[in-house]
Structure 1
């Protein structure tokens, strides 16, 4: 092996390289004037810092590089908006404002509300009602700059400024390019109002925002649970929006629902009894909406109900943004929402068509009147139910009178059935003649019942939506807007639940008695082919009430129990006091002797049946 020798040329090379490096370090070292501002900049917190980049107790930066390097990187990443990163407001601070009914915290980062608490209300477990808290909501504008950067406002720092204009509190959040160039969120909180004025505007950003790329507004919120039954609350938690010329639509209660429309004027994230709503004076050109159910297992998923997402594009006007809008954070109360005259009453699910009309113009004002002077909301429900049943008692009377006539005619109908048992056409024809002469009709008993359906359905929609019932107790029910509980079960019964509610049991018993009274006579008759099994229906209805309403609002079960109890009483009075079956029978026999003039419809039907009978005879020949 050859012995290694000392290489003089290598040594000279290393010395020259070292000299060059020392010369470069000397010529590139900062002057005294430059060092001072760099040392001051070390105290500024910049966006994107990790915990290692935060100052320690002596104010030192725990990072490999200097703070000036981090700021330079932020400016490189943010471009023109890197100016905001150098401002003292580029911190995780919040601004808190409040009035008599609402308390808000607005975060410097993103410029959006980080907490929204509705005052004067508590959840089912006596906690404050928060619509926004702990990062469950976000509000972001995604845009592209003229130098090709794609940025999100939720990651950028706004500079807050709070001023007063009379009793109004104004919060200005500015995302700055310079002192005179910025994107601004402006909030105006008024005394005693759940509704805030809100505007988005830009100044001096004509050459910063890329007008050829979409500017998208994205609003997202996960609804907090506020009620005892999260599944029942979730049934009435929905995304509603107004589009076009005042039309409205909703996504429903499915596991995952999506929808798109044009000319969006408001978007409401409704959480049964509390809502977050964004309204705009100038409709968004289009909108995409998503609702995702977050409750798969009520025992496990106990924090959130649904995840709502709304995506709308923003349009530039003269190269700038300029939108006047409103935020609403408050109760889903028909009276409060309707007073704003912005079509927000559609957020409350009162039913469509005639059902909603009955609720808006009859039941809501009437219930408000009763609850204004009665000592309890439960008593108000009972009184309103009594009044409704009394108003509908003439319809009940006509229905029961028809049943009584049919009962009196039953022997003659049975005789006709036996006489023409081999000729169904003749049997039907003779039966119609008998009904016509006696002045009775099976339909006369059905029509009064059909007339009551709009009232019953309207009330079915009214009670679950009545904000006044929330957290109001009556008898053993702690909350008329939720289910009552007389016993907790150590297990869960499918469709029924893990508890026993008393009001649905009472309502089921009342329905069973009512069905016995109304269908008992029909059950005694031979079951007609093609007719529904009345005995099955008699048992099914109470069972349905017992199971289905065990998790429903106790106020609704109280209404059905009271309503059926009153109906039973009215029917007993009609049967034993008002109606005399012997007189009815005598009147029917008298009517049968009189010549009965047939109307055109009855005469036409009879002619058609006679023609059909003649055709059958000819076929037999």
Structure 2
């Protein structure tokens, strides 16, 4: 039916309505009797019914025509009543709707918001999805249709599973189906789109799925949550990537297609994973800073291969769940990267050492503060050989300090000669000047890996210890009436304790380290002060870990000193001098001396230019 036919039908219906309202034959007047009054009333009512029915028929016909124009063969399914289907397993409660055959609401059973309300990851107000299919070269939003529902059970557990099917069935066995399968455990919802016998109805044009997720604020610290919220994705044949964490609008088009993408918040994700592929995707995020109920808004415009949907390969998985490394690594390859474990070397330390130890302790201990304390002891024990080697290097330098001071006094003002003679002293005494630095550098990946592990560990979320109510965020013992730049408007006691113990440890260590002189000796105290500002708003679990680590390091240092005999070290070095008296310099020593000479020469040239 074209537009001219629709217009003619509407005019005809309008003329009929006007005729019955104004030009219908009048009913002859009758004597006013009780019997006449009683028969006249039904006639008037009947006339009104005819008029209303006519208008209703006209409206229905117009709506039907509009639906036919908009939805084509799917027009009969454009009206109806939405039915909600509530399914659940041991981990999630999910509401599906027959209008659109979509996921309407997801609640995670074992988690709460910071206000201790049930954690609803998505609902109809925050999430919207639309599936567009082409029919007769015209896009039809099949998410606006009303589907027939078929299911057998609504709750499942263990190894069992349940299936819910939403169908729009045409004639001759042709139908469009959204099919959901939920296992007894876990956070994955299997999703299938099936176009059965629809070759003459649906064009061979790829489908478009648009998913908008206004990610709900479920944490206490909105600023920290926004800094860790983005869209992560894995391109076909590419490496894991994300849109970045800036508060400005971000957008990326992935032409080669995706294996999966995730609306990733700090501790939770809503994701779509393709069994085959998503042909193309445009992903974007933006922040409305005036809306404190939404962390970020994300949009994914996805191109789904129509061939997959028509041949039973339109198979996907939704993931609605926590950013838990142990859980996510079982979902699909690379999906565990939604848990930010840091750069390559730090990720390796977290993946192969920190997480296994933490999970082992978590299985036998319920108090996460105690777990952190034990974790410190385990890590310090593993690093003990490196720490001991570094301590021994500093002890050797301390023994040589009188001779080093004599060399500096002898060559006062001539840095090149002073350095050359000092290096000769090291060589004869059998000391590698880098032996103290290398063990410290080797410990750095373990130290910095914690920067990613603790702030992103969902296990610490809402876990209290001592005065900290939540180890995943900062411990707040005092709110300031003003804000200090780079520090904030609160006081973290764990951060203060960490800073104080770090300053004390640095001072104690400097008593042994005779190599660090001049400005560098003062600069080493700046780092703890910087960390005071930088870590004040970080996870209480992180600052507590560093505080305990400093205390354990004091104990290690005291223990090592008991085993260090300076007289014995001096005796060994004297024997080394006799052995190395006529020994040639190594290639490394020669190159080091050349570098020192070149540096001294450059320094002299600069001094001459200034003069």
Q: Could you say if the C-alpha distance between residues 198 and 319 of structure 1 is closer, same or farther in structure 2, counting changes exceeding 3 Å?
A: closer
> Contact between 1:425 and 1:609, CA under 8 Å: does it hold in 2?
no
What do you get for the CA RMSD once the two structures are aligned?
A: 3.4
Whether 1:125 aligns to 2:110 is: no
Match of 1:111 among 79, 97, 101: 101
Whether 1:331 aligns to 2:322 is: yes
Q: Secondary structure at the match of 1:465?
A: coil
> Contact between 1:289 and 1:309, CA under 8 Å: does it hold in 2?
yes
Select between 229-238 and 196-205 the one with higher mean Cα deviation.
229-238
Match of 2:229 among 222, 237, 241: 237
C-alpha distance in 1, partners of 2:110/2:214? 22
Deviations 1:145-170 (A, max 9, x none): 21x43333343333333234994322
C-alpha distance in 2, partners of 1:242/1:478? 36
Residue in 2 that maps onto 1:536: 523
> Contact between 2:280 and 2:304, CA under 8 Å: does it hold in 1?
no
CA shift, 1:601, in A, is 1.7
Match of 1:587 among 563, 567, 572: 572
Whether 1:393 aligns to 2:384 is: yes
Whether 1:273 aligns to 2:273 is: no
Match of 2:460 among 459, 469, 490: 469
C-alpha distance in 2, partners of 1:380/1:139? 42
Match of 2:130 among 140, 158, 164: 140
Q: Secondary structure at the match of 1:258?
A: strand
> Contact between 2:227 and 2:246, CA under 8 Å: does it hold in 1?
no
Q: Could you say if the C-alpha distance between residues 400 and 62 of structure 1 is closer, same or farther in structure 2, counting changes exceeding 3 Å?
A: farther
Residue in 2 that maps onto 1:248: 240
Alignment map for 1:411-450 (pairs within 5 Å):
411-421=402-412, 423-450=414-441
> Contact between 2:287 and 2:296, CA under 8 Å: does it hold in 1?
yes
Residue in 1 that maps onto 2:283: 289
Q: Secondary structure at the match of 2:463?
A: coil
CA shift, 1:70, in A, is 1.8
Residue in 2 that maps onto 1:565: 551
Residue in 2 that maps onto 1:10: none
State how many pairs are aligned. 552
Residue in 1 that maps onto 2:49: none
> Contact between 2:395 and 2:512, CA under 8 Å: does it hold in 1?
no
Match of 2:162 among 169, 172, 185: 169
C-alpha distance in 2, partners of 1:573/1:551? 34
CA shift, 1:284, in A, is 1.7
Normalising by the residue count of structure 1, what TM-score does the alignment of the two structures yield? 0.80
CA shift, 1:314, in A, is 1.6
Select between 110-119 and 344-353 the one with higher mean Cα deviation.
344-353
Residue in 2 that maps onto 1:308: 298
Deviations 1:178-234 (A, max 9, x none): 5843322111112223111111111232223332x5532222212212221122223
Residue in 2 that maps onto 1:5: none
C-alpha distance in 2, partners of 1:142/1:603? 71
Q: Secondary structure at the match of 1:471?
A: coil
Alignment map for 1:492-503 (pairs within 5 Å):
492-503=483-494
Whether 1:159 aligns to 2:144 is: no
> Contact between 2:271 and 2:320, CA under 8 Å: does it hold in 1?
yes
Match of 2:74 among 66, 70, 81: 81
Select between 63-72 and 370-379 the one with higher mean Cα deviation.
63-72
Residue in 1 that maps onto 2:220: 228
Alignment map for 1:362-401 (pairs within 5 Å):
362-401=353-392
> Contact between 2:195 and 2:309, CA under 8 Å: does it hold in 1?
no
Q: Secondary structure at the match of 1:444?
A: coil
CA shift, 1:451, in A, is 0.6
**Residue segments in structure 1 that go unaligned for 5+ positions in a row:** 1-20, 30-58
Normalising by the residue count of structure 2, what TM-score does the alignment of the two structures yield? 0.81
C-alpha distance in 1, partners of 2:171/2:453? 54
Deviations 1:305-341 (A, max 9, x none): 1222222212222993641111111121122222345
Deviations 1:472-513 (A, max 9, x none): 211111122222222233344343333222111111111111
CA shift, 1:412, in A, is 2.5
C-alpha distance in 1, partners of 2:379/2:362? 16
Whether 1:403 aligns to 2:394 is: yes
> Contact between 1:75 and 1:85, CA under 8 Å: does it hold in 2?
no
> Contact between 2:398 and 2:514, CA under 8 Å: does it hold in 1?
no
CA shift, 1:63, in A, is 8.6
Whether 1:210 aligns to 2:203 is: yes
